[in-house]
Structure 1
């Protein structure tokens, strides 16, 4: 059987940690930042763990 291709959009949006967690960036951190507080922009800069319900689907798209 041929190898499955990695989903291009997913590989740009998600990463898998060494322990197997799937991480994503937060939304609302790209523009209109002058209206958002410094506290909020710092919080938005941190990566988040993907919800458990979506992990299986995302790992399949990433070929993991």
Structure 2
């Protein structure tokens, strides 16, 4: 059976914490932030931890080697 490969797009979009949680950058926060409130801009800087139901699928299908 061939090796399982990590999806190239997932390498760029997700990362794993030391405990195995999946971190991601939320969408719709690339431009046009000058008209948004200051607290929303500050929240958009950081990555978020994915819900466990979705994280299971990401780890299994997209990041099998645990990047």
TM-score w.r.t. the length of structure 2 is 0.83
Mark the runs of 5 or more structure 1 residues left unpaired by the alignment: none
Mark the runs of 5 or more structure 2 residues left unpaired by the alignment: none
Partner of 1:44: 44
Distance 1:17 1:31 in 2: 27
RMSD: 1.2
Instruction: Report 1 or 2 for greater relative contact order, CA contacts < 8 Å, sequence distance ≥ 6.
Output: 2
Residues matched between the structures, number: 64
CA shift for structure 1 position 11: 1.1
